[in-house]
Amino acid sequence: MLEVLKRWYQTRFSDPDAVTLFLLLVFCFAIIWLFGDLLAPLLVALVMAYLLEWPVARLQKAGLSRTLATSVILILFITVAVAALLGLIPTLVSQGINLAKEAPAMLTHAQDYVRTLPDRYPELIDVSLVETVIDNIRQRILSGGEHLVSASLSSLVNVVAIMIYLILVPLMVFFMLKDKRVLMGSLRRFLPRNRTLVNRVWVEMNNQIINYIRGKVIEILIVGIATYVPFALMGLRYSVLLAVAVGFSVLIPYIGAAVVTVPVAMVALFQWGLTPEFAWLMVAYLVIQALDGNLLVPVLFSEAVNLHPVAIIIAVLVFGGLWGFWGVFFAIPLATLVKAVINAWPKREDLPSAAK
C-alpha cells in the first residue's frame, strides 16, 4: 500500500511546476473559503472588470488612452445600470408586494385543486399522499417566509455597508481596468520563476472566464426580454417580476430553470385556471427554455463550457455549498478550472525521469 502511494506521489508531485500549481490552488481556495464574505466587493469588481475589459480594449485600439477608455466605458456602464434599475425597481417592488399578498390565496387555490385529484384519479393518487404533500409545501412556504423576513431585517441593518460597496466597487473596477498591467505584474512577482504549468492553466482559464461572464450577462438579458414579451402580450400578472426571475435563473444551470417554473405555472394557473390561455403561456415559456438550452447556450458558451451536464450540476451543488451565490455563479468556470488542471497535470510519461 505504501509503495502504491509512493509511486502515485512520484508520478503526480515530482514536477516542481505541479507542486507550485497545487500550492497556489490550495492557497486561493482557502482564502476564498475563509474570507469569502469579506471579499464579496472584490469579486463583484472582478466580474465587472472582466465584463468591461473588451470594450475598453476596443477603445484603446481606436486611439484612446487606457485611462480615458476606462473612464468612458465605466461612466456609460454606470449610467445604463442606474437608468435600468430606476426603471425596474419600482415595478419589481410593487409586483413583489402584490404577489406576496396574493400568495396565501394562491396556496389555498392550489390546495383545493390538489385535493380533488384523488376523486378524479383514485387508482393513481391516494388521499393521504395528497395531504402529506400539502403539509410539506405549507411548511416550506412558512420556512421561506421566515427566511425572507430575517433576510429583509438583515439587509436593513447592512444598508450602510451596501452604500459603501456602491462607492468602493466602481473605484476598484476603475483601477483594475486602468492599471491592469501594473496589477498583473505585481501578482507575478509573488510567483516563482519556474511556473510554466501555472501560466498554461491561467491562459486557458482567463479566456474561458472572459467568455463565460460576457456570455452569461448576454444570456440573462436575452432570456429575460424574450420571456417578458409573451408574458406581457398575454396579460400575465407580475410579468416583469417573473421575467426578471426567469432571466436570472440562468445563473444556476438546469436547477434554476426547474425552480423558476413553479412560480410561473402557479401564477398562470391562479389567473386563468386550466384554460387554453394557461396552456399557450406554458408552451411559450417551455419554447424559450428549449431555445435557451439548445441554441443560445451553445452559441454563447461554445468556447467556455465543455462539461457534461452531470459535472455541471455537481459543480453547482459543491461550489454553491462552499461559497453560496458566488460559488453558484462561478460553478462552471471553477469546474472548468478543475478539468484544465487535471488535463495539464504532468503524467508519468511527461516527467524527465520517465524518459530515462
Half-sphere exposure of 166 (CA within 13 A, CB side): 9
DSSP label at 65? Answer: -
CA 131/CA 268 separation, integer angstroms: 23
Q: Which amino acid is at 215?
A: G
- Give the other-Cβ count within 10 Å of 125's Cβ: 15
Three-state DSSP class for 41? helix
Four-residue CA torsion sign, 58, 59, 65, 68? negative
Contact 70, 56 (CB under 8 A): yes
**N-to-C CA span, the chain:** 26
Per-residue pLDDT of the chain (356 residues; tens, 9 = 90+): 556 555 655 555 555 666 677 777 788 778 877 776 777 788 888 888 988 988 999 999 998 899 999 999 999 999 998 888 888 888 888 888 888 888 778 777 777 777 777 777 777 777 777 777 777 766 666 665 555 555 554 555 566 677 778 888 899 999 999 988 888 888 777 766 666 777 777 777 777 778 888 888 889 999 999 999 999 999 999 999 999 999 999 888 778 888 899 889 889 988 888 889 999 999 999 999 999 888 888 777 765 566 777 777 888 888 877 777 777 777 887 787 777 777 766 665 555 544 44
* Angle at the Cα of 98 from the Cα atoms of 97 and 101, rounded to 5 degrees: 90
The Cβ-side half-sphere exposure at 296, using a 13 Å CA radius, reads 20
For residue 201, count CB atoms less than 10 angstroms from its CB and return exposed for 0-12, middle for 13-18, buried for 19 or more: buried
3-state helix, strand, coil in the chain (%, to 5): 85, 0, 15
Distance of CA 257 to the CA centre of its chain: 12
